[in-house]
């Protein structure tokens, strides 16, 4: 009996150590999720056929909002699944982003929210933070309402929620969502981000790991920035996140493919590493897309969904002191 007690104590200590560092293995592990609605939701039947995507509606901020929900093929095997939130670019939709991003091939519940029609030319959906976004729309609150819905109805791991996006959606992730909701977003992966100034300081409640993708030949959101629109140079913006995360000031570049250079900042607080993936001559596109994702050159040297997943899947938010629900 004493031997068994010592083994049990060691196992508990190991779980606590993993939770404290924020690192994890690739597979979702049920023991790391807090006890709450998401755990009881694991006993609920799947709301749709595993392996499928369906358009769903939720009320947030007095509006009916929509999102495309994709369940992995083997969702029926009850375990706490990670969640990937994917925010579309201006004028696109969640369903459109699903088509080119290949995110629905990941071992995760993938959610593609839809923005609200903004201002400017045509009926184009957009996200908070951009100058053309609809006035009075709180997309951070919408995202949190959406996470509440997912955690109440699906078997998901509340500590393994990741956010990515393209263009305007990526800008929303990098300038607002990760800054205001770091307690719920474990790590982010902006792609070709439109990083418009929001007028507020980004002060996340914890270091947020970041992997960012951008083409050096992007004519829509220039890699070197655009002072007239208040857009920063991309590498400077990523270095700013490294500063937020307390990383060592010196970065290291590594050429990993004929048109791919990866910059890494290490020594970051709580292991919150920052990486920048530059695509030489790349356009306003999603790396690895085999259908239209934007103007300019699309590299096939890497698949963005695979590269970001290898990075994102290792991070968790800290365990809450009590259930959110």
Who has greater pLDDT, 20 or 84? Answer: 84
Which tokens in the block code for residue 282?
């790349």
- CA atoms of 115 and 90, how far apart (whole Å): 8
Q: Is the pLDDT of residue 21 over 70?
A: no
Angstrom distance (rounded) from CA 39 to CA 65: 25
Res 123: pLDDT: 85
For 292, the token pair is 């239209």
CA–centroid distance for 51 within its chain? 21
Q: Count CB-CB contacts under 10 A for residue 96.
A: 20
Of the candidates 271, 202, 285, 275, the one whose C-alpha atom is nearest the C-alpha of residue 235 is 275
For residue 14, which phi and psi values (nearest 5 degrees)? -65, -45
* CB-based contact 279:213 (threshold 8 Å): yes
What CATH class has 2-312?
alpha beta
Q: What are phi and psi of 261, to 5 degrees?
A: -125, 125
- Whether the CB-CB separation of 320 and 34 falls below 8 Å is answered with yes
H/E element, 276: strand 274-279
Kindly report, residue by residue over 164-196, the tens digit of the pLDDT.
999 999 999 999 999 999 999 999 999 999 999
Predicted pLDDT of residue 28: 35
**The pLDDT value given to residue 38:** 52
Please tell me the distance from the alpha carbon of residue 277 to that of residue 259, in angstroms, as a whole number: 10
Confidence band for 26, pLDDT divided at 50, 70 and 90? very low
Note the pLDDT tens digit of each residue in 241-287.
999 999 999 999 999 999 999 999 999 999 999 999 999 999 999 99
Confidence grade of residue 25 (pLDDT, cut at 50, 70, 90): very low
Phi, psi (deg, nearest 5) at residue 311: -80, -50
In degrees, rounded to 5, the angle at the alpha carbon of residue 210 between the alpha carbons of residues 304 and 30 is: 85
| Residues paired with 260 in a beta bridge | 257, 279
Give pLDDT, residue 40. Answer: 82
Element counts in the chain: helices (H) and strands (E): 8, 12
Q: What is the pLDDT of residue 324?
A: 55
Identify which has the larger pLDDT, 19 or 205. Answer: 205
3-state secondary structure of 105: helix
- Dist. CA 29–CA 313, nearest whole Å: 12
Looking at every residue in the chain, the average pLDDT score rounds to: 89
| Exposure of 190 in the CB half-sphere (CA atoms within 13 A) | 31
Q: Give me the mean pLDDT over the 26-44 stretch.
A: 54
Q: Tell me what pLDDT residue 9 has.
A: 40
Nearest to 186 by CA among 2, 320, 59: 320
Q: Are strands 260-265 and 81-87 parallel, antiparallel or unpaired?
A: unpaired
DSSP 229: G
89-140 tens-digit pLDDT: 999 999 999 999 999 999 999 999 999 999 987 789 999 999 999 999 999 9
CB atoms within 10 A of CB 109: 23
pTM: 0.88
Question: Is the distance from CB of 79 to CB of 28 less than 8 angstroms?
Answer: yes
Q: How confident is the model at residue 1 (pLDDT cuts 50, 70, 90)?
A: very low
């Amino acid at each position: 009996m004493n031997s068994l007690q010592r083994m049990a104590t060691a196992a508990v200590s190991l779980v606590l150590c993993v939770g404290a560092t924020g690192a994890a293995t690739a597979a979702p592990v049920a023991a790391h999720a807090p006890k709450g609605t998401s755990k009881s939701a694991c006993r609920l039947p799947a709301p749709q056929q595993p392996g499928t995507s369906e358009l769903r509606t939720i009320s947030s901020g007095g509006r009916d909002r929509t999102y495309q929900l994709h369940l992995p093929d083997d969702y029926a095997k009850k375990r706490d699944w990670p969640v990937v939130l994917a925010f579309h670019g201006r004028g696109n939709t969640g369903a459109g982003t699903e088509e080119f991003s290949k995110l629905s091939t990941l071992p995760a519940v993938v959610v593609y929210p839809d923005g609200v029609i903004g201002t400017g030319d045509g009926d184009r959906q957009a996200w908070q933070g951009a100058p053309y976004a609809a006035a009075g729309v709180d997309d951070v609150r919408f995202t949190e309402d959406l996470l509440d819905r997912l955690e109440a109805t699906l078997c998901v791991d509340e500590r393994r929620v990741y956010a990515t996006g393209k263009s305007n959606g990526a800008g929303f992730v990098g300038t607002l969502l990760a800054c205001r909701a770091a307690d719920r977003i474990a790590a982010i992966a902006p792609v070709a981000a439109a990083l418009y100034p929001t007028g507020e300081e980004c002060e996340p409640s914890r270091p947020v790991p970041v992997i960012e993708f951008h083409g050096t030949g992007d004519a829509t959101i220039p890699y070197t920035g655009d002072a007239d629109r208040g857009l920063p140079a991309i590498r400077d913006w990523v270095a700013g996140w490294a500063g937020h995360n307390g990383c060592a000031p010196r970065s290291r570049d590594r050429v990993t493919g004929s048109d791919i250079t990866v910059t890494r900042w290490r020594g970051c607080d709580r292991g919150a590493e920052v990486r920048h993936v530059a695509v030489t001559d790349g356009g306003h596109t999603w790396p690895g897309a085999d259908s239209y994702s934007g103007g300019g050159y699309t590299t096939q040297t890497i698949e963005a969904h695979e590269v970001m997943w290898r990075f994102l899947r290792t991070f968790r938010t800290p365990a809450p002191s009590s259930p959110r629900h």
